[in-house]
Amino acid sequence: MKLKKCSSCKTYTQKATCPNCKEKTKDAHHKYLKLKSAEQSLS
């Protein structure tokens, strides 16, 4: 799963649409993607 960011309200989610404002989300900055994948590899 990739972390995504809403460009409208700046919230992070894993969904294709923002749960707050219903706008489409984009992939988060690569720094946050690395953190998320590091967490999963530790589990």
Cβ of 18: how many Cβ atoms within 10 Å? 20
Is the pLDDT at 2 greater than 70? The verdict is: yes
The DSSP annotation for 1-43 comes to ---EEETTT--EESSSB-TTT-PBEEEPPHHHHHHHHHHHHH-
What is the reported pTM? 0.58
13-33 pLDDT, tens digit per residue, is 899 999 999 999 998 776 655
